Structure 1
Amino acid sequence: MRAVLVVADAFAVPIELTFQNLQFTSALNNPSSEEFKNTSTTIEKLLTESISISDIFVQVRRLRSGSVIADINIYKLSGDQTYNNFSNSLSEEFSKEGDEGIIDFDNLVIFSTESCNVEIIDGLTFGPAASGQNTPSEEVCPESKINYGRPMPLGLCTCFSDGLSAAVWQDVMLQDCGRDATSDELLERLNMITVTEENVEEVITAVNNITATGSDSITPDGLEATAAIIESVTSVNSTSAKVTSTLVDTISSLFEVDDMVLLESQKETQAPSRIIESLEDQLAVVDLEKDKYEFVTSSVAVQAQNVTTNELDHTGIGIASYQSADVIVNVTGFSEKEDLDNSASVSIYIPPTITKMFAASNGTTAFRVVTVVYNESSLFPTNQLNNATRTNGQIISLSIPGVKLNNLSDPIVTTFIPAEISKNNDETTCVFWDFELDDGNGGWSSAGCYLANGSLDGSDRQICHCDHLTNFAILMNFYPDQEEPKIARYITNIGLGVSIVCLLATIVSFAVNRKVRKSKPQQILCNVCVSLLCLYLFFLVGIDRTKKESTCTAIAGLIHYFLLTAMFWMSVQAINLYYMIVKVYNTHVSRFFLKACLFAWGIPALIVPITIGIDVDNYANKNYCFLVVTRMYYSVALPIAIILLFNTVVFIMVLRSISKLGKITAQAHRQKKSRHLLQNAACISVIMGLTWVIGFFAIGSASKVIQILFCILNCFQGFAIFIMYCLRNKDVRSFWIEEVRKRFIGVSSTLRETKSSSLSSSVGNTISFGLNSPKEKQITHLSLKRDSSNNQESFA
């Protein structure tokens, strides 16, 4: 263990002197040799006489080669003087001319026993520090490390001296700065900084560095932090072109973020939309050099310019973007629609009447126009679109800061050349990004926009007209495989048709048969059948009635309602099964069926209006009349998942109860009956559950087999119910056999009466048809009974 030696009331100053005229020999390595003693005495005497400071003592501690290099200590009583003052006095003494040129003062080095000077060790800077002090390096953990800014130096080093030798730095102890910080952690760290005019450029540059190198690892939390930082940057209202360009470059990097991350972030915090709005805010304040600012990246291009109404007397404002190999290369202006270059990938044009109207209403002759072009729709994530319908080309935005232009008489004209062109994508929808759609999550809306025409110049150009300003795009339908929809459509139509007939037959069987009708399980099943029948009818008739929005919304609400009622009645059936088989005793529930109706018909009647009330556009799907995918998870998938889980638990309990039944006759009969009930209930629950489980797998890019299997199971449920609950039910079969027998006997009696009447007439009415005596009536009754018995046996 090293310790620091302090000589009380005395100073020890180590120095290093080089004597050019002395020759080094090996004997000088030995302090006890005569040669070392003589040389030391000479040097000590020389220094003592040369230094005018009184009361000093000079000691040569070591001699080294290099002519002769002497390590010397100079001691002095401290008195009232400080160590640094004494060291400075020595330095001044040595700065005088040396005696006879023996001492090389140019190579004089003065050390300290009390402190270490600044020194770079292993690339790290330490000092100054007092002897015995553990000193952190000036360098701290880099920003890329998790422990950056805590503070955490890169290394620690101790200044050490034994009180006689020069203080020196010991070995460096490197600090653990931790793992590399993730992009999210770096962004969260930046988000904690208060952005000011002084540091705004530094902050946005740091964000740009993170997104440029780590955009592929950013999560929704990282996007939220990015949006918050960008909002803070734009709130400073910096007019710096460099800040603006760095912001544009940062947003361009965000196009590399995973699409699912962008979608989740949009649903949770609307971070992508907030970033887009912040960019437009920044372009509204940036300094314009020669009345224009322009910056182009591979994914985003922006332009801000000042215009005057005098310049627009007879011309409008036109901006066009040009693309090469899926990269934006240029943004330029044009004044007449006819001046638009056919090679422009996207353009927007404001006619002069709109600028004049704006000038007249606002009393201004000069204003700023901001244009943004996005190479694709990554920063506009939504659940509306699918593989068949999606944006096809660039997105262009034009705005006048601080001004809302809506319900324009002369339209804003936008043109698009689709990025992907095929013979199947000829159905074009002109849309704009509505930030308020879907509870503020944003989405594409066609309100106020329509397709004017397309492909007029042979370039596949699509021309849209809109009555307002915002972010514009086109949606197109793609049909990569036309066979799958046809097969699925055929299976759906056939299956639903068969199921509707079977469900009607099942409902009629339960309704007209008093014995079956009184059974509680059959009453429940009858309600299931009614729900499925309504679901199939509305699906078959109205699922594709998308032309009229109000009609489509109504049909979507009804389909949603009857789908939920069918599943809720399934849970009622599971509850009834539990009372019949598991609980058995004290199972009476007053007004059970009334409560079941309130539950199964009532709760869906609350869910559907609430879903509509939250946002009626939830049902505004452009391809079919049903919920958009986002709401489907909460309003459809969640209730169905809970019901299926509940039914599964009940079935397990029922199976366990049946397995414990004894072997005696009464129990065996009960076991047989219970198994029969469970078999029917389990079959229909498994069929409905399996349908929806497979339905989840059939969403998106599922295989053809999964999609076809989903269609088959979903559409033939009514047929399966008819097989299980009518054809396999002995009471139902017997009822219909008896009904047919009665009808057969009735027809036979009518035929006999007709034949007898004819015979009586042919013999001159000599034989009177009809029996008057009791004996004759008895004989006839026995005959009819025998005939009906034979008929029944034959029919069976």
Structure 2
Amino acid sequence: MFAVTHLVHVEIYFILIENFCNSTIKDGFSFPRTMVGWSAYSEELCDEKTTSEASARCLNDTGSLMFGSPHKLQCEFTLIDIQENISSSPGDLLQLAVSTQILTSQPEQLSADNITTAAQIANTLLQSANITEDIAVAAVTTISQLLNASEESTQERDAVQNLTETLEMFSLDQHNNVSLVVQPNLVVQSVQVPSDSVGIQFTALTGSSGNFVANGINVNTNTSELIADKGGSTDVQIVMKFPPVLHSNNTNHSIGFVLYQNDRFFRSRAFSASSGTSRTVISANLGQVSGLHVEMLFKPTAVPNASLYDFACVSWNYTLKDWSTYGCSKVNHSEDGLRCFCNHTTNFAVLMSFRRDFKYAEALNWITILGCSMSIIGLSLTITFQIATRKSRKTNPTVLLVSVCVCLLIFTLLFMLGVDNPHKQLDKPEILEDNVLPLSDTHTERDRGPCTVVAVLLQYFLLGTFTWNTLYATHVFLMIRNSLATSPSDFTAYTVAIGWGLPAVVVALTLGISYRVDDPLGYRQEEFCWLAALDPKGNFDFKLPMFWGFLIPVAFMLIFNTVMLIYFAVTTCKTNPHLTSTRHTSMKKKFLSSFSLAVVLGLSWILGYLLLITQNETMYTILNISFCVLTTTQGLQIFILFTARTAIVKKKMSSAMNSVSSAGIPLHTRKFSLWRGKHSDQVESYTQQDTVSFPPCSSQTSNSWAAGSTCCKTSPLVL
């Protein structure tokens, strides 16, 4: 088996290296390097048009590879002109066939009408009684090129249907010894089988470019078994076992094969290729013979970030104009190939349905668990502290900070407990035994409910966190700008309406636009109960709700919060630098004040946006780790800066420590008691330790703090 595989690889090597006509100039036309059997098109163009002026075929007639005589295009010709000339004066069919081939050499630029006309011309050429080998090759080349066209219309559908039927009939007859025509997207093979043959095998192997090559086509006229294809070295195999009736008349039989590189001529209404995949189609024809046994082996299509979910063995029904499973069944499947059995001959294919593979980043898993756990504890303590001490602190109501913490706490709890989809399917699915036509090449489980609910709540509470962050920044701006110790009277009512209402509006719009019960992955991911972000190829998709339902609104909030932080930092730096005993201490307080505001405004999420645009792998790793650490510990940071460092907590901790010390050393009880009593006469303000102290009002300071000064006002960070 190793030797067989090795020979296949050697064959591919020689296909790629030896079977080319090198670029050359022939009869005044420049032709590029071309595979043997294929047609090349001149670099010279018709006037200002993009159509080549001539074509030549790479041949191996004399034992050496060289281009045949070029065929020149009459540049004034159009496909309509050619169609009219074939109907009215079919004199020079070869010139008309080659002209059609050249005019369709850039199929992506063809209109639907041009495709229809070209298909009708090729159909006429193949049915012509005066067809020659060169005409047949030109017609097959035209059809091969049409398989790469992008436009499609109803009229074209009928034209290509007739064309596929004509190709089947053409493959049965050896016109002028035209037994094999191989073009990049199409192979036509005619074979005469001896009467004593038990069966025939047709095997195709594409080159590295995915196109068909002459040396990759093989026919065995006396076998009834498929070749064991370990490693999937062939793209398609088909074996026809002959019934005993064929051996009774002692005559040779003509068999035709047509192999299509894709299924563009077999557009299905029942099967949707939503992920852009294509299917190899093979036609086998033995005429009106019953009792046939046809086995096929198709190489599974490789789809990035997806694995095979199910497949169906189908044949094309010209009456239905669609795929049908009638007369076909599955034999077995493996990584090497999908085996099918059918009891008749026609166009066959395998329709495959894929399920996305899900990859997990385990490296940051423990950081996330540890950080979120600490944040849950920190946020719970902060909420409790803010509510319990709201009366003793001479500050504004704590609704803003508490709302930020509540949203962030609920989000973190949901993230820890419910972000993993309990119904996700990680193991490879069991292929169904029934040969059932799949609806699409992408399999999506119907929504079971819980994961979508979690995704909705996560989106709501994370958007709510940023909304309250922005309201917090607005509150800081108003207090600094207007030199207020308290916020405006109606501010709280507005903040409650906006803080809890705006996220609900965004979530409702996102669900209404992107969610469907039969396709929940339009809204959320499968592996995680979070917003959908990536396309099937694993690339970020700007059409999915992660972008416009989360990143866009959060981006505006982060920009606003960043501007407010800069404004706060600049305003703070304008205060008198001699407020404390040293300038160093003052700068430390200013830094901590700005840092505290940055934490509560969630500015660490800016790193997430940098991850989307970072190309350098090292920088991406650094940003990813930093983002994970800072965002998962945001609740802990808020606790440290807004609870643990406040004067009231420090006083309680100091009292607790002194009590412990007093209990441990009784002789020192009186000293510690006197020290505490000495300081108990001072008025304690339960504010953050890291807020900036402001000078008492005086004639010297009030002038420098005119128009927006915070002199004699409580720090705006304290809510």
TM-score, structure 2 normalization: 0.50
**Structure ranking higher on relative contact order (CA contacts 8 Å, 6+ apart):** 2
Q: Which of the two has greater helix per residue?
A: 1
Please report the TM-score for the alignment, with normalisation by the length of structure 1.
Answer: 0.46
